[in-house]
């Protein structure tokens, strides 16, 4: 039973989890400028009176801002049309929808190398997905292809590509999380300092980070499986 469960995880669950990882990280990376314009973002500025006056802030109308790795989207009010900047690895966020007394200078993009490392990590995860899936199903392919995929060098390369993709991606998103976490804190503190005269806005970390943490939790399963295969195959030679 344990052997059958292990085989099922290796053959079927790992590719599904890895594909889910790729989709979630792509959504977090491409949003909001290329897709999910007002649904997924790393940082969100939305209408709220929570920082300028006590009590609930339901029904507040005002501008909204959605920031991502490649650019930003905004709308002037709750029912307004969304406009987005052009996607680029060194974005300049369009903050024109925010009022003049909003602390706009605190909302800036990370260095241009961060989106590059994110793209590199996603590329590594895609390569790892295809190579690890082919290695897992090599017994269903021809003898020549199966023999090639059965080589320790191929399996080692696949596992290390997956490892570096995991490490680079998780580190990049952690850095961005700290960057935007500080921006959210400073933005909200600046509005608090203005008191009742401050803009009716509040910044918060976006749901893209939740998608990323789930993605890398899934990523760990096929990565551990691949690394475990290397350890098992290397153990007889010790």
Residue 25 counted as domain residue? yes
Q: Is the distance from CB of 27 to CB of 36 less than 8 angstroms? A: yes
Would you place residue 136 in the very low, low, confident or very high pLDDT band (cuts 50, 70, 90)?
confident
**Averaged pLDDT, 19-45:** 92
Q: How far apart are the first and last CA of the chain?
A: 29
Distance of CA 140 to the CA centre of its chain: 34
Q: In sequence order, which ranges of 104-151 are alpha helices (DSSP H)? A: 113-136, 143-149
What's the chain's average pLDDT?
84
Does some domain include residue 236? no
Q: What percent of the chain has pLDDT over 90?
A: 42
Number of domains in the chain: 1
Beta bridge mates, 74: 65, 83
Residue 116 lies in a domain: yes
Q: Is residue 73 part of a domain?
A: yes
Domain that holds residue 61: 2-230
Q: What is the pTM of this model?
A: 0.85
Give residues with Cβ within 8 angstroms of 125, minimum separation 6: 18, 21, 22, 25, 162, 165, 166, 169, 219
Asked if residue 63 is part of any domain, the answer here is yes
Residue 237, in any domain of the structure: no
Task: Indicate the pLDDT class of residue 2, thresholds 50, 70 and 90.
Answer: low
Residue 135's pLDDT band (cuts 50, 70, 90): confident
Check residue 44 and give its pLDDT: 92
Q: How far is CA 150 from CA 6, 7, 132, 137, in A?
A: 19, 17, 11, 11
Query: Would residue 156 count as lying in a domain?
Result: yes
**pLDDT-based confidence at 122, cuts 50/70/90?**
very high
* DSSP type of residue 82: P
pLDDT for 141 equals 66
Q: Report yes or no on 128 lying in a domain.
A: yes
* pLDDT of the residue at 163: 93
In the chain, the percentage of residues whose pLDDT exceeds 70 is 85
Contacts 24+ apart (CB under 8 A), 72-80: 72/32, 72/33, 73/32, 73/33, 73/37, 73/38, 73/41, 74/98, 75/38, 78/47
* 173-224 confidence digits (pLDDT tens): 999 999 999 999 999 999 888 888 888 888 999 999 999 999 999 999 889 8
């Amino acid at each position: 039973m344990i052997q059958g469960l292990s085989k099922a995880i290796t053959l079927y669950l790992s590719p599904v989890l890895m594909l889910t990882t790729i989709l979630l990280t792509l959504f977090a990376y491409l949003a909001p400028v290329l897709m999910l314009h007002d649904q997924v973002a790393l940082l969100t500025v939305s209408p709220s009176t929570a920082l300028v006056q006590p009590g609930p802030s339901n029904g507040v109308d005002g501008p909204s801002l959605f920031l991502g790795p490649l650019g930003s989207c905004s709308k002037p009010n709750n029912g307004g049309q969304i406009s987005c900047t052009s996607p680029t690895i060194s974005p300049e966020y369009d903050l024109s929808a925010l009022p003049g007394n909003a602390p706009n200078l605190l909302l800036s993009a990370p260095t241009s190398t961060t989106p590059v490392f994110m793209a590199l990590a996603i590329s590594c995860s895609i390569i790892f997905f295809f190579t690890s899936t082919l290695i897992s199903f090599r017994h269903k392919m021809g003898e020549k292809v199966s023999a090639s995929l059965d080589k320790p060098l191929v399996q080692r390369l696949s596992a290390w590509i997956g490892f570096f993709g995991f490490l680079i991606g998780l580190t990049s998103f952690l850095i961005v999380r700290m960057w935007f976490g500080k921006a959210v804190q400073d933005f909200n503190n600046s509005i608090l300092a203005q008191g009742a005269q401050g803009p009716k806005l509040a910044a918060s970390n976006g749901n893209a980070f939740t998608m990323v943490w789930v993605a890398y939790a899934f990523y760990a399963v096929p990565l551990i499986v691949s690394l475990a295969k290397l350890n098992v195959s290397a153990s007889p030679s010790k």
